[in-house]
Every structure is written in structure tokens, then in C-alpha cells.
Amino acid sequence: MHALLEQSINLYAAILLIVSFGMISQRRILSLVHLYTAQGITLVLATLTVGGLTHQPELFVSAGLTLALKVVVIPVGLHRIIDRMNVRWDVEPLLNIPMTMLIGIVLVVFSFNLAMPIARLSTSIARATLGIALACVLLSFMMMIVRAKAIPQVIGFLAMENGLFFAATAATNGMPMIVELGIALDVLVGVLILSVFMFQIREQFDSLDIRHLEQLRDDGRDAG
């Protein structure tokens, strides 16, 4: 049973990676939110498993926090924003999807190589997952670069934080509680600010296309 649980962490890691690829290939904004929720659920399961295996009650608290924040509050908030702003589809990304998938594979290989020497040294139960976590971070990073609309960029940002959170739980058996709480607070406030922001952008430009936000240049621009 113990061995099975240990193996299950690798399964969760694999799911996270697949979801990250899913996000890259997905252009429907609503599906992106669903994928983000799926990522949150996987994180909760992974945290519970690590908590059970290492007998750390803090991890159960952290799992509860994740459940509340990343499976309920943030997805619901995103749904409301999408409804109120009526944005369903992302415009054509700056790079086409097959191309981004190929770059994504290169990123995964790169992260695995980068994490290999460290994974060998780690004592935690799921050390092999560090590479996957890093891959998830880089994939979300790429998603933020190639997407042109505000909401996919925000989801990329949140997915990146998920990758980091997974690295924290799986590879190091959880950061100290005070740090986790702080991070959760920062994420929550960040999402709140971003949603305020999206309304401001919308009010100003009548669209959530980030390409409106390319006026600031280093020369020849009148100051506001």
C-alpha cells in the first residue's frame, strides 16, 4: 500500500504535466479554466498523499487551503469574469499550436536534465518529480509569452504558481507553514488585483487583448 501511494505521486506529476500541455494547446478560455481546476485537484491529492506518507499534519492544512483557493475560489472567480466580460476564445496565439508543443517538449527535456543531479541528492519520497515541476513552470511561462489575451496570461501565471507549489510539496515535502500561508495570501491578493485590473483594461480599451498594451516604447512617445 505504501509503495503504491509513493508511486501515485509520480502519477499526479504525470497528470500535471499532461494538463500543462493541454493548456498550451487549448484556445477556448473556458477549457483553460477547467484545466486549471483539474490541476488544482491533482495538487490537493498529491499534497494529501505526501502528507499521509510523511505524517505531516501541516500538509493537510495546506491541502485544505489549496482546495479552497485553487479548486473553488479562483476558478469561480475566473468563471464570473469570463461571463461578465463575455470572452470565450483566445485570438490566434503569437506562435501556432504545433510549434508551441514542440518547444514544450524541448523545455521538458531541458528541465529533466537540469533537475537530474539534484533529484539524485534529494531525500524526499518523490524526488523524481522535481524535473516535472520545473517543466510545468517553464511550460506555463511559455504560455504567458505566446498568449495575447489577458485571461490566458493570468491562467498561465497561476499555473506557474501551481508548478512551484507542486515542487514545494513533492520534492521537499512541503515548505514551512508560515511561508506557505504567505504564498497563498500573495496569490489570492494577486488574483484580486488582476481581476480589478482586467476591468480597468476593459473599461479603457473595450477589449482584453494585451496587444493594445504595446504603446510604451523607448522613444517617440508622448507621455500621458
CB 168 within 8 A of CB 175: yes
Confirm or reject binding of residue 3 to other proteins (CB under 8 A). Answer: no
Q: Applying CB under 8 A, which of residues 60, 105, 106, 182 lies at the interface with other proteins?
A: 182
Q: In sequence order, what DSSP letters do the residues of 114-144 get, joined into one string? A: HHHHHHHH--STTTTHHHHHHHHHHHHHHHH
For residue 79, how many other CB atoms are within 10 A of its CB?
Answer: 14
Q: Which is nearer to other proteins, 89 or 199 (CB)?
A: 199
Q: Is 85 in the site for other proteins (CB under 8 A)?
A: no
Cell of 114: 537540469
Q: Residue 19 or residue 137: which is nearer to other proteins going by CB? A: 137
Among residues 55, 57, 121, 206, the one that binds other proteins under rule CB under 8 A: 121
Name the residue nearer to other proteins (CB basis): 109 or 179. 179
Quick one: 1 or 154, whose CB is closer to other proteins? 154
As a whole number of angstroms, the distance between CA 81 and CA 120 comes to 44
Contacts of 165 by beta carbon, 8 Å cutoff, 6+ apart: 43, 66, 183
Q: Does 94 bind other proteins (CB under 8 A)?
A: no
Judged by CB under 8 A, the chain residues 139 through 168 that form the site for other proteins are 141, 144, 150, 153, 157, 160-161, 164, 167-168
Task: List residues near other proteins by CB under 8 A.
Answer: 114, 117-118, 121-124, 130, 134, 137, 141, 144, 150, 153, 157, 160-161, 164, 167-168, 171-179, 182-183, 185-186, 189-190, 193-194, 196-197, 200-201, 203-205, 210, 212-216, 218-224
